[in-house]
């Protein structure tokens, strides 16, 4: 269905018409481009500690709700988070920390035993200087050099370009078009030429140029200037050479479909939400990368401790084997000597494999950190400078869940997806409406003879003929099948986004539960493994002390066999304890990642800078000085 436009023209002469048109054009263009508080200025904050999840320090134009509907959705999401937080508490987990603390105690373990000091000593004979690196140093190097983090940091910056691209739809555009025409045609009309078949000749040029812009309400505003110079030998064309000029201000404002700031700014809001999701994706990947660095650090610590234990075991085994072989003429039999030699060969093979594990852990850590100093040829071995945490940590489960619901980037991405889906649903609802547009024009025109278009241009300002028109243009699809399908798809996607948020919350809750249980289980496991190692140590010590008694009762060869077995049990128990300590320290870091507080715990915050090509770049830095100043301030 079409609504024909209604046009009215006036022959009145208005002085200074051009001035009125220009003033009105300026007013409309100015009103259609309101100043925005979130313009292209980098939002600066002195520090982002505790709020590293917010993209405001690095995103130029972050998302802010621009309509009542968006604010309502945000409020409903906050209410849903609170409801989920309240119903996600578990009494058994709440009391688990208290029970474990009572059973195993909060006292720390003595880590200055067996291998700990020797782990910090160089193993290999490399020419390079050994590198004693702690976790904080490795984190700092990783944030500065890691190629994977650089890849992740580019995600929000790339997505941020879509914001300016969406805003570009409302940028003013200058346009111009000019054309020259010349034609000669036989005339068959006495209105054109008095002599039949006398050629009708036309020549001339036209020019049209001006500014046009789409406003935030959806209106198309244009201010154009037209010039033309025409010459014809037609009888009715008087004078034969004419110059024309015309200035027109036109407006087309949608009234239903395509109308309103909410609809027209939806793509900008969706781009901002997508950028916010890109930042959350960056934070998620960054935390996983730092957790990988943490795991590899403790794997290296474990590998070095295991290598030391196996070296000790091989040295002790060699002594026993030599003694057994030396008693070949006395009381040892061939099977005993063969068994001892087999044990020695097996333990030497394990020593070779342990040395390989140290080298592999080093290589993986170097690759993950990507520090040129660690990758250059001739660099020394990496030696863990930090010892493990050996005191019990009893995290509060309810607090862990609350922090995870508020801070986990996966939940923030799911919430952004809900907001974006709701915006798309609003777009589909708007586009289902009929198309009805108000159109209006106001202008001034003038004509001069002798092709004097410059004189006609001057006449526009004083004495030009006003031209104006108003009307409505509309259309509507009779069955609106496509619009209904688009709206249905948007509604289904919005429902799916809400279901995805609940599924994400369930996954996060499960992740926190597992991480929490791992911490609470790893501690008693470490204490139990330590008791087992001490018992194995005591067993071996008793064997050493009772040598004379044992040799008198069962013979020296059988005693030496018992000694080999006891040495193996002691080495295995010590390695199990070392594994448990490493697992406990990894579990503590993994719990921080599960809660979404790993970056906050490590005092890491984002900063936006520029590279050598003046391209934006996000760097993650550790603000130790700021964090220390805050601690001092709060202590006063």
Among the listed ranges 91-105, 147-161, 416-430, which one has the minimum average pLDDT value?
Answer: 91-105
Mean pLDDT of the chain: 83
Nearest alpha carbon to residue 175 among 135, 220, 137: 220
> HSE (CB half, 13 Å, CA atoms) of 17?
25
- DSSP per position, 26-52: HHHHHHTS---TTSS-PPP-S--TT-T
- Residue 17, pLDDT > 60, answer no
- Residue 618, pLDDT > 80, answer yes
Tell me, what's the pLDDT at 550?
65
Q: Which residue has the tokens 């862990």?
A: 400
Omega before 88 cis (within 30°)? no
Q: Token pair for residue 134?
A: 């702690």
Name the 3-class secondary structure at 437.
strand
Tell me, what's the pLDDT at 453?
82
At residue 30, φ and ψ (nearest 5 deg) are -70, -40
- Residue 35, pLDDT > 50, answer no
- Residue 360, pLDDT > 90, answer yes
> HSE (CB half, 13 Å, CA atoms) of 352?
5
Among the listed ranges 177-186, 195-204, 257-266, which one has the minimum average pLDDT value?
Answer: 195-204
**CB count in 10 Å sphere of residue 391:** 9
Among the listed ranges 187-191, 424-428, 630-634, which one has the minimum average pLDDT value?
Answer: 630-634
Q: Which helix (H) or strand (E) holds 249?
A: strand 241-254
E strand intervals along 145-238: 173-186, 199-214, 220-232
> HSE (CB half, 13 Å, CA atoms) of 132?
9
Tell me, what's the pLDDT at 500?
96
- Residue 634, pLDDT > 60, answer no
pTM over 0.75: yes
For residues 227 and 213, give the distance between their C-alpha atoms in angstroms, rounded to a whole number. 21
Among the listed ranges 269-278, 301-310, 324-333, 574-583, which one has the minimum average pLDDT value?
Answer: 324-333
Q: Which residue has the tokens 């590998």?
A: 303
For residues 359 and 295, give the distance between their C-alpha atoms in angstroms, rounded to a whole number. 15
Q: Which fold has domain 68-166+267-423+487-635?
A: Outer membrane efflux proteins (OEP) (1.20.1600)
- Residue 324, pLDDT > 70, answer yes
- pLDDT tens-digit readout, 409-461: 999 999 999 999 999 999 999 999 999 999 999 998 888 888 788 888 888 87
- Residue 39, pLDDT > 80, answer no
Q: CA angle, corner 272, sides to 270 and 276, nearest 5?
A: 115
- Residue 2, pLDDT > 60, answer no
- DSSP code, position 127: S
Nearest alpha carbon to residue 548 among 557, 556, 537: 556
Tell me, what's the pLDDT at 46?
36
Nearest alpha carbon to residue 268 among 105, 63, 451: 63
Tell me, what's the pLDDT at 42?
33
Q: CA angle, corner 324, sides to 323 and 326, nearest 5?
A: 65
Tell me, what's the pLDDT at 623?
67
Tell me, what's the pLDDT at 236?
81
CB 390 within 8 A of CB 581: yes
- Beta pairing class for 465-475 and 173-186: unpaired
CB 210 within 8 A of CB 225: yes
- Residue 27, pLDDT > 50, answer no
Tell me, what's the pLDDT at 629?
46
- Residue 263, pLDDT > 90, answer yes
Q: Which residue has the tokens 């054309």?
A: 179
Percent of the chain with pLDDT over 70: 82
Residue scoring higher pLDDT (131 or 116)? 131
- pLDDT tens-digit readout, 594-603: 999 999 998 9
CB 595 within 8 A of CB 407: yes
Average pLDDT over residues 559-587: 90
Tell me, what's the pLDDT at 3?
37
Average pLDDT over residues 131-138: 91
Tell me, what's the pLDDT at 408?
94
Average pLDDT over residues 186-201: 79
- Beta pairing class for 199-214 and 173-186: antiparallel
Residues 6+ apart with CB under 8 A from 169: 214, 267
CB 466 within 8 A of CB 247: no
- pLDDT tens-digit readout, 500-514: 999 999 999 999 999
For residues 581 and 575, give the distance between their C-alpha atoms in angstroms, rounded to a whole number. 10
Average pLDDT over residues 95-116: 57
For residues 596 and 50, give the distance between their C-alpha atoms in angstroms, rounded to a whole number. 11
Paired with 245 in beta bridges are 227, 446
Domain with CATH 1.20.1600.10 in the chain: 68-166+267-423+487-635
Average pLDDT over residues 567-575: 91
Name the 3-class secondary structure at 200.
strand
Tell me, what's the pLDDT at 24?
44
Tell me, what's the pLDDT at 551?
67
- Residue 218, pLDDT > 50, answer yes
Average pLDDT over residues 198-227: 93
Which pLDDT band, with edges at 50, 70 and 90, does 307 fall under? very high
């Amino acid at each position: 269905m079409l609504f024909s436009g209604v046009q009215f023209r006036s022959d009145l002469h208005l002085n200074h018409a051009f001035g009125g048109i220009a003033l009105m054009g300026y007013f409309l263009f100015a009103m259609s481009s309101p100043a925005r508080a979130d313009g292209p200025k980098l939002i600066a904050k002195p520090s982002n500690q505790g709020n590293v999840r917010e993209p405001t320090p690095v995103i130029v134009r972050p998302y802010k709700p621009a309509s009542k509907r968006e604010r309502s959705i945000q409020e409903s999401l906050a209410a849903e988070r609170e409801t989920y937080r309240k119903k996600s508490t578990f009494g058994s987990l709440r009391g688990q920390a208290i029970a474990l603390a009572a059973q195993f105690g909060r006292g720390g373990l003595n880590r200055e035993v067996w291998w700990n000091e020797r782990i910090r000593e160089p193993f290999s004979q490399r020419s390079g200087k050994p590198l004693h690196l702690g976790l904080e140093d490795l984190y700092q190097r990783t944030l500065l050099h890691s190629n994977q983090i650089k890849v992740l940091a580019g995600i929000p910056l790339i997505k941020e370009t879509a914001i300016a691209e969406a805003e570009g739809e409302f940028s003013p555009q200058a346009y111009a078009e000019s054309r020259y025409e010349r034609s000669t045609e036989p005339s068959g009309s006495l209105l054109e030429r008095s002599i039949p078949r006398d050629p009708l000749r036309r020549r001339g040029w036209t020019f049209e140029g001006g500014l046009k812009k789409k406003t935030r309400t959806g209106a198309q505003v244009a201010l154009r200037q037209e010039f033309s110079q025409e010459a014809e030998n037609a009888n009715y064309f008087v004078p034969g050479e004419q110059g024309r000029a015309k200035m027109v201000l036109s407006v087309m404002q949608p009234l239903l479909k395509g109308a309103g700031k909410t609809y027209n700014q939806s793509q900008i809001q969706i781009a901002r939400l997508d950028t916010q999701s890109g930042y959350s994706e960056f934070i998620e990947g960054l935390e996983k990368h730092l957790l990988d660095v943490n795991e590899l650090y403790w794997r290296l610590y474990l590998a070095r401790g295991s290598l030391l234990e196996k070296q000790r075991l091989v040295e002790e085994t060699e002594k026993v084997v030599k003694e057994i072989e030396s008693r070949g003429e006395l009381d040892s039999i061939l099977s005993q000597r063969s068994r001892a030699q087999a044990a020695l060969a097996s333990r030497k093979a394990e020593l070779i494999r342990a040395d390989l594990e140290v080298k592999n852990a080093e290589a993986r850590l170097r690759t993950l950190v990507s520090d040129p100093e660690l990758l250059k040829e001739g660099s020394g071995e990496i030696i863990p400078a930090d010892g493990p945490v050996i005191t019990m940590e009893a995290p509060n489960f309810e607090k862990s869940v609350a922090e995870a619901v508020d801070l986990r980037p996966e939940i923030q991405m799911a919430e952004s997806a809900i907001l974006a889906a709701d915006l798309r649903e609003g777009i589909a609802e708007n586009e289902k409406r009929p198309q009805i547009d108000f159109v209006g024009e106001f202008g001034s025109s003038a004509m001069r003879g002798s092709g004097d278009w410059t004189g006609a241009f001057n006449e526009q300002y004083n004495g030009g003929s006003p031209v104006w028109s108003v009307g409505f243009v509309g259309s509507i699809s009779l069955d609106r099948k496509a619009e209904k399908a688009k709206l249905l798809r948007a509604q289904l996607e919005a429902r799916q986004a809400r279901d995805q948020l609940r599924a994400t919350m369930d996954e996060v809750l499960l992740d926190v539960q597992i991480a929490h249980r791992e911490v609470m289980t790893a501690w008693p496991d470490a204490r139990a493994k330590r008791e087992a190692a001490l018992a194995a140590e005591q067993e071996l010590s008793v064997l050493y002390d009772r040598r004379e008694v044992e040799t008198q009762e069962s013979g020296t060869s059988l005693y030496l066999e018992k000694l080999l077995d006891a040495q193996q049990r002691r080495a295995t128990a010590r390695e199990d304890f070392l594994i448990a300590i490493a697992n406990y320290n990894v579990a503590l870091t993994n719990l921080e990642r599960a809660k979404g507080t790993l970056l906050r715990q490590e005092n890491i915050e984002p900063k936006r800078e520029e590279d050598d090509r003046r391209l934006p770049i996000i760097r993650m830095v550790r603000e130790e000085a700021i964090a220390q100043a805050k601690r001092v301030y709060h202590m006063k």
